[in-house]
Amino acid sequence: MAAPISEPSASVALSELTALLSPSSPAAPEAAEAALALSGSASGRALLAEHPAALSALSAMAASASRGARPALAALVNASSEPAALEPLLAAVPSLLPLLPSSGAACGVLANLSRDAAAAPRVLRALGPGAEAPLLRALSAERPPAELGALLCNLSQAPEGRGALLEPSGRVLRRLLALLRCPDTELRRGIVGALRNCCFQHGNSWEFGIYGICGIRGIYGIYGIYGIYGIYGIYGNDEWEWSSEELLLPAR
Predicted pLDDT at 79: 96
Burial class (CB in 10 A: 0-12, 13-18, 19+), 94: middle
12 against 110, higher pLDDT: 110
Predicted pLDDT at 153: 94
Least confident of 56-60, 130-134, 139-143: 130-134
Q: Which among 159, 166, 95 is positioned nearest to 126, based on CA atoms?
A: 95
Confidence class of residue 3 from pLDDT cuts 50, 70 and 90?
very low
Residues 145-158 as b/e (b if ≥16 CB within 10 A, e otherwise) read bbbbbbbbbbbbbb
39 against 7, higher pLDDT: 39
As a whole number, mean pLDDT of residues 191-211 equals: 63
d(CA 220, CA 214): 9
d(CA 179, CA 175): 6
CB 48 within 8 A of CB 11: no
Predicted pLDDT at 167: 83
pLDDT at 6 over 80: no
How far is residue 55 CA from its own chain's centroid?
16
Give residue-wise pLDDT tens across range 47-102: 999 999 999 999 999 998 888 899 999 999 999 999 999 999 999 888 888 888 88
Least confident of 124-138, 167-181, 191-205, 233-247: 233-247
As a whole number, mean pLDDT of residues 157-186 equals: 89
Give residue-wise pLDDT tens across range 143-154: 899 999 999 999
pLDDT at 238 over 60: no
Predicted pLDDT at 226: 47
Average pLDDT value for the chain: 80
pLDDT at 184 over 50: yes
How far is residue 190 CA from its own chain's centroid?
11
The string of DSSP letters for 91-144 reads TTHHHHGGGTTT-HHHHHHHHHHT-STTTHHHHHHHH-TTTHHHHHHHHHSSS-
Predicted pLDDT at 8: 63
Q: Which residues contact 201 (CB under 8 A, 6 or more apart)?
A: 208
230 against 11, higher pLDDT: 11
